[in-house]
A = this chain, B = another copy of it.
Amino acid sequence: MLEFNRPLALQDRENDVLTVGELLVDLISEDYGDAHEGASYRKYFGGSPANIAMNVRKLGIQSQLAAAVGDDGLGKFLLDRLLSEGIEPAFVETVQEATSLVLLTKSRATPIPIFYRQADYRLSYRPQLEEILRKSKFLHFSCWPLSMSPSRDTIERMIDTAKRHRVWIGFDPNYHPMLWPKDEDGVAYVKSIIGQADMIKPSDDDAERLFGKDTPDNQILKFLSLGAKLVVLTLGKDGALASDGKETIRFPTLAAEVADTTGAGDAFWSGFYAALVRGHAIREAISLGFAVSAYKLRFTGAVVDLPDLETIQHSYGL
Contacts and interface: CB of A to CB of B under 8 A. Distances in A.
Given A98-B115, A99-B114, A114-B99, A73 B105 contact: yes
A240 B149 CA distance: 48
A91 interface: no
Interface residues of A, number: 33
A72 B37 contact: no
Contact of A41 (B27, B35, B80): B27
A86 interface: no
A72 B38 contact: no
Interface in A100-144: 101, 103, 105, 112, 114-116, 118
Nearest to A77: B35
B42 A38 contact: yes
Contacts of A105: 73
Given A38-B42, A98-B115, 12 more contacts: A30-B40, A35-B73, A35-B80, A37-B44, A39-B43, A40-B40, A41-B43, A70-B114, A74-B114, A98-B116, A101-B103, A116-B118
| Copies of this chain in the oligomer | 2
A76 B96 CA distance: 30
A182 to B, nearest CB: 6
A40 B44 CA distance: 10
Contacts of A76: 35
Contact of A73 (B30, B74, B112, B182): B112
A45 B34 CA distance: 13
A209 interface: no
23 contacts: A27-B27, A27-B41, A30-B40, A34-B43, A35-B76, A37-B44, A37-B45, A38-B42, A39-B43, A40-B40, A40-B41, A40-B42, A40-B43, A41-B41, A41-B42, A41-B43, A72-B112, A72-B114, A73-B112, A74-B114, A96-B182, A98-B114, A101-B103
A81 interface: yes
A101 B116 contact: yes
Contact of A37 (B43, B103, B115): B43
Nearest to A80: B35
A200 to B, nearest CB: 29
Contact of A39 (B42, B96, B98, B114): B42
